[in-house]
Amino acid sequence: MRKAVQLLFAGLFVLLLFASAQPYLVLAPDLFLQASPLLALGTALAARTLNILLLPALVLLAIAAVAGRVFCAWVCPLGTLFDLCKKRQSQPR
C-alpha cells in the first residue's frame, strides 16, 4: 500500500513539474511547496502573518505530530527516491 501511495505522489510531482511549463495550467505548480511545513513556518515568520495557501502544511504538521514522519515516508518524492536507492544498494552485485 505504501509503495503505491509513494509512486502516486512521485508521479503527481513529475506531472506538476512538466505541467508548470504550460501556459494553460489548471493546477498550481507549487502544490508540493504549499504542503511544506518548513516553508509555511519560514513564510509566516518572515511576513508575520499566516498565509491561507500554506494551510495544508499545518494539516501535515498536525498529522506528523500524531503519526510521526508521515510526509517523508509517504508523500515526499525525495523520500521515495531514497527508498529506491536503499533497495538498490542492498541488492547483491
As given in the structure block, the three cell numbers for residue 82 are 531514497
What's the pTM?
0.60
Place of cell 502573518: 49
Dist. CA 75–CA 60, nearest whole Å: 10
Position 91 scores a pLDDT of: 64
Position 89 scores a pLDDT of: 67
Contact between residue 4 and residue 81 where contact means Cβ atoms under 8 Å apart: no
Tens digit of each residue's pLDDT (9 = 90 or more) over 75-91: 788 888 888 887 666 66
Tens digit of each residue's pLDDT (9 = 90 or more) over 11-44: 888 887 787 777 776 666 666 677 777 777 787 8
Dist. CA 9–CA 83, nearest whole Å: 14
